[in-house]
Structure 1
Amino acid sequence: MCEATFYGVGVGPGDPELITLKALRLIKGAPVVAYLASDEGSSQARAIAREAFVDQSTAQIEIPICMPMSTDRSLANKAYDEGAALIRQQLKAGHDVVFLCEGDPLFFGSFTYLLERLQAEFSCQVVPGISSVNAAAAELKHPLTMLKESFVVVSGRHTDEQIRTALNDHDSVVIMKAGRARPRILNLLGETGRAEEASYLEYIGRENQRIETNLNRLTPEAGPYFSLFVVTRKERNSR
């Protein structure tokens, strides 16, 4: 196994000050930094970690992995294959590679797909980051769970029945990746009688952050990818 290490480094949900000291150190010292990028070359993860690139004393190689906007999974897999090939080349040359991942690398993280492709060949390490779930609770100043309360995380990509079951069976529910599914999620929250217990957040920790605690002010149309719902019981199990 090659001596170089592939690092998955969580940079948090958006606030640059939420990056851990370990993540900052690794990014600053990495000979190679990789991240997902748009076709125009912009990267949310790199923007969050921007402080790590200030006053660099040594040159770094950057590997932007361009992800298609399409929902076609085959195109995404092709992008991950190409990105893994570029990272593999650097690792084989003996260069450590740090991959920047929004939130936490192993919690709905894009790092997972690169890890699948590289961990059999190279040493891999993970630096956890603050997830949007934890950041959302902090912004709301509202506990996710207390004592015997149950807690589940689902995605807007789940079926209506799966989301409905989560809302009916659990005290606290976070629905990630709400974006395109927002109208459907709003209907399910109303159907299960939990709309008044829900808050909606998007772009947590960023300049364009939005929080709605009254879902009546939320239009039933698709929202941004970086959005979620937090649902907790009005009557908390606090004893």
Structure 2
Amino acid sequence: MGRILCAGLGPGDPDLMSVRADRSIRSAQHVAYFRKMGRPGQARRIVEHMLAPGVTEYPMEYPVTTELAFDSPEYNHSLATFYDEWATRLADLARTQDVVVLCEGDPLFYGSFMHLHTRLQGRATVEVIPGIPGMVGCWNSIQTPFTWGDDVMTVLMGTLPEADLVRHMQTADALVIMKTGRNLPRVRRALSDTGRLQQAWLVERGTMPGQRVVPLADVDGSDCPYFAIVLVHGRGRRPEITAEVPA
């Protein structure tokens, strides 16, 4: 019996990968990874110089990305079929050998691998190697503490209706907004409505080549790449602890 080993690749910089993930990838003979159709794939790019000679690669190409509305029945059916088929292929492969599945960030934090993970239960031995979530790499690129004391950090998806974004933003301290891209104008309006736009940052391609860190108020939102995240630092519910000078 083999295993399906999902390696979390971290935020994008290969140097921020765990030692265990690095070791597993370099010794792998079978490697699978997600990618858009016709694209090399971000996960594959991260491990470009790590794969052993002769490794067998399994590009798992999404059947759709933005062609259909993500909440439409057609989109859900297409993706469900895709995950069903790949779960079967990976389970069959793992009957005789190990296969490493690559996943950006952490595999169990909004990752595509979660859809395979649920389908593989009872069909194969599955192990997950944790990775640094992309948002952690992004807020470290700003070089400012992100949360203080009792700050509540809220993670939102830019795909949410604007009214829901506003509602969550009104009560949160630190904010992480993922899945921006074409949703950035909606995110920008919601932050403006809640008075938080001036404190927001846009981080594009965090920790990767071409990284860009800019105040969101300086961006019109008409052109935002897929690998982008919006961050708003915490309000600081408790004062910073400082050393007192003895009298």
Distance 1:37 1:167 in 2: 32
State the one-letter code of the partner of 1:223: C
TM-score, normalised to structure 1, is: 0.90
Contact 2:148 2:236 in 1 (8 A): no
Distance 1:77 1:208 in 2: 33
In the alignment, what sits opposite 2:166? 164
In the alignment, what sits opposite 1:98? 100
State the one-letter code of the partner of 1:172: A
Shift of 1:79: 2.1
Provide the aligned length of Structure 1 versus Structure 2: 232
* Residue aligned with 1:100, SS: strand
Shift of 1:14: 1.4
> Where does 1:76-155 land on structure 2 (aligned, <5 Å)?
76-92=79-95, 94-155=96-157
Where in structure 1 do 4 or more consecutive aligned residues deviate above 4 Å? 233-236
In the alignment, what sits opposite 1:207? 209
> Where does 1:1-239 land on structure 2 (aligned, <5 Å)?
3-53=1-51, 56=52, 59-67=54-62, 68-69=64-65, 70-71=67-68, 72-92=75-95, 94-213=96-215, 215-233=216-234, 237=238, 238-239=240-241
Distance 1:183 1:130 in 2: 28
* Residue aligned with 1:51, SS: coil
* Residue aligned with 2:5, SS: strand
CA shift digits 1:138-157 (9 cap, x unpaired):
10012221111111111112
TM-score, normalised to structure 2, is: 0.88
Structure 2 portions without partners, runs of 5+:
69-74, 242-247
Shift of 1:236: 6.3
Relative to structure 1, is the Cα distance of residues 121 and 235 closer, same or farther in structure 2, using a 3 angstrom cutoff?
A: closer
CA shift digits 1:182-226 (9 cap, x unpaired):
00000001000001111011111121221112x232013252221
Relative to structure 1, is the Cα distance of residues 146 and 187 closer, same or farther in structure 2, using a 3 angstrom cutoff?
A: same
State the one-letter code of the partner of 2:174: S
Contact 2:151 2:235 in 1 (8 A): no
Contact 1:203 1:227 in 2 (8 A): yes
How well do the aligned residues superpose, as a CA RMSD in angstroms? 1.7
* Residue aligned with 2:184, SS: helix
Identical residues among aligned pairs (%): 31
* Residue aligned with 2:101, SS: strand
Distance 1:40 1:95 in 2: 28
Shift of 1:234: 5.7
Distance 1:235 1:151 in 2: 11
Q: Pick which of 190-199 and 161-170 moved more.
A: 161-170
Contact 2:200 2:217 in 1 (8 A): no
In the alignment, what sits opposite 2:72? none
